[in-house]
Amino acid sequence: MSELTPQAYADQLYKIFRDEKFKELINFPPSFEQLGLHGQRILLHFQGMAFAALGAPQKAKLTFQKALNYGDNIQIYRDLACTLYQLEEIQAWRECYQKANRILAEKARELAFDTRFTCSLTLAKFYEEEGRLGQALSIYENLHHHSTTQQSYRYFSLLAPQLLRLKSQLPANEELSLLYTKLLSFNQNNTPEYVNIEIEHSLMLAELNLIGPQHAWARVEKILNNTNSFEYDKNLFYIDFIEEASLRNFPISNEHKIHYQRLNNLSKYELLVAKLCLHDLPDHVDNEISMAARDIPLGSYLKLLNLYIAKTQNEALKDEFRNKINLIVAGFNSEDRTFWIKRAKQFDKDSFTELMFDSDKRYLNFQQKTLDVSRKKQALFLLKILADKPQWTIDEAIQTIWNSNFTPEHYNRLRMTVHRTNQLLQSLTAIEKCIEISGESLNLNPQVKLKRTMEASLPQ
């Protein structure tokens, strides 16, 4: 009889898990004699995975925690974090996934590609939950680039749904269309059920955002009417549908509302989404939303703020919630701010970005951040005239800035000045083009306001 190695033992347990023989895995005898504590950790990890697959997150959590008593392991931290998130233990979830992230950063070169891939994929999902949508998208795209060299059907099935789901929240483009087409025709017969759920979820959201609600609702109904679907998945599909439909001003029909009564054990976040989407806004729901920040991930909180803005008729509260969103995303990096701004602009047409400009001290202020333009002479001239008047003809702008009539050379100088000033402003606001220029006119982006803090005369 050959000696049992840890890898052979893990492969044996993985085959049982892959074949969805979860109860057999839970009752599998330990191999203390040959593998000792290492073998016990491997077994407990797979048993925790089996409990999670059976929809028993509390048992999964306890089993993963027991496994970690036999030594740190990034995959166990990853799976424990998923379970803690499902149990709404937000602080513990955050500490757990951050621990996994540190291990990944410290030991990336020691880890097998498959481990790096699956752990990075899950951590990117957690970044999404924390509102770091731009960072998450960068991780997905980086994984996509590296996984194509592996030519793996499995890697595509795990990664493509995340890319489609996230990218479908932004305006459509050719790349998104290609990704949707690939997943639409993807053969799901040989993939695990949890992967099929991810694919269906991403297709549902993509169709809701890019095609319309009827296509998307058909996928939701399929999950709701499937007696084998887990409660968690039913809640996910239904709540994400009514949230995104409400943001895009699609009607929530009585047929949609009836299905809500069939759902059980909704999370705090899901209950608040239902309250906002299925009824007239109740009194003091804005206070409930504000208080929810301590109990839900930051990304979910930002989505609630956006949803409230879309639903309320109270303009004063809309402005306050916009200010709150701006204050939160001001602490994000440029990638994340850009994503939230692009997403919000799709359904909050009345929102705008207000830049405070001190033309005397020569700086711009936006959301408690300051940009010094004292050494950017041409940008300073441009900002001063746009603060005085947000729209100019090209001739007027050239005459005011350079005291000259129109010439092709001056027009090219103006275009370059606009380009460089936009780069400066993007570093401050994450908006790609705060200033727009065409052959006839120069103007501020309609969703940008440039307001003087001190009046100053135009430069001589």
Q: 348 pLDDT exceeds 70?
A: no
User: Are the beta carbons of 321 and 340 closer than 8 angstroms?
Assistant: no
Segment 377-382 shows an average pLDDT of 89
Max avg pLDDT among 169-183, 206-220, 363-377: 206-220
Q: 346 pLDDT exceeds 70?
A: no
Where are the chain's structural domains? 353-454
382: number of Cβ within 10 Å: 24
pLDDT tens digit sequence for 408-457: 999 999 999 999 999 888 878 777 788 999 888 999 988 788 888 854 44
Closest-CA residue to 354 (of 427, 450, 226)? 450
Please report which confidence band the pLDDT of residue 106 belongs to, taking 50, 70 and 90 as the band edges: very high
**Structure tokens belonging to residue 297:** 């991930």
Q: What is the pLDDT of residue 190?
A: 78
pLDDT tens digit sequence for 394-412: 999 999 999 999 999 999 9
Q: 368 pLDDT exceeds 80?
A: no
Q: Which residue has the higher pLDDT, 345 or 437?
A: 437
Helix (H, G, I), strand (E, B) or coil at 170: coil
**Structure tokens belonging to residue 306:** 């956006």
pTM (2 decimals)?
A: 0.77
Distances (CA, A) of 35 to 12, 131, 223, 346, 419: 14, 42, 42, 56, 64
Segment 381-389 shows an average pLDDT of 90
Rounded Cα distance between 36 and 174, Å, is 54
Segment 310-333 shows an average pLDDT of 85
Segment 191-196 shows an average pLDDT of 86
Distances (CA, A) of 179 to 80, 123, 170, 220, 301: 30, 22, 14, 20, 28
Lowest mean per-residue pLDDT among 53-67, 78-92, 345-359, 368-382: 345-359
Q: 344 pLDDT exceeds 50?
A: yes
Q: What is the pLDDT of residue 37?
A: 82
Rounded Cα distance between 110 and 250, Å, is 49
Q: 147 pLDDT exceeds 80?
A: no
Q: What is the pLDDT of residue 366?
A: 79
pLDDT tens digit sequence for 194-247: 889 999 999 999 999 889 999 999 999 999 999 989 899 999 999 999 999 999
Rounded Cα distance between 311 and 131, Å, is 21
If one looks up domain 353-454 in CATH, what number appears?
1.10.10.10
Rounded Cα distance between 44 and 135, Å, is 32
Please report which confidence band the pLDDT of residue 459 belongs to, taking 50, 70 and 90 as the band edges: very low
Q: 1 pLDDT exceeds 50?
A: no
Q: What is the pLDDT of residue 457?
A: 40
Q: What is the pLDDT of residue 148?
A: 67
* Torsions phi, psi for 372 (to 5 deg): -85, 120
- Distance, first Cα to last Cα, the chain: 93
For residue 134, give every residue at least 6 positions away whose Cβ sits within 8 Å of its Cβ, in sequence order, or none. 332, 333, 334, 335, 336, 337, 338, 339
Lowest mean per-residue pLDDT among 24-33, 225-234, 300-309: 24-33
User: Are the beta carbons of 324 and 315 closer than 8 angstroms?
Assistant: no
Q: 355 pLDDT exceeds 50?
A: yes
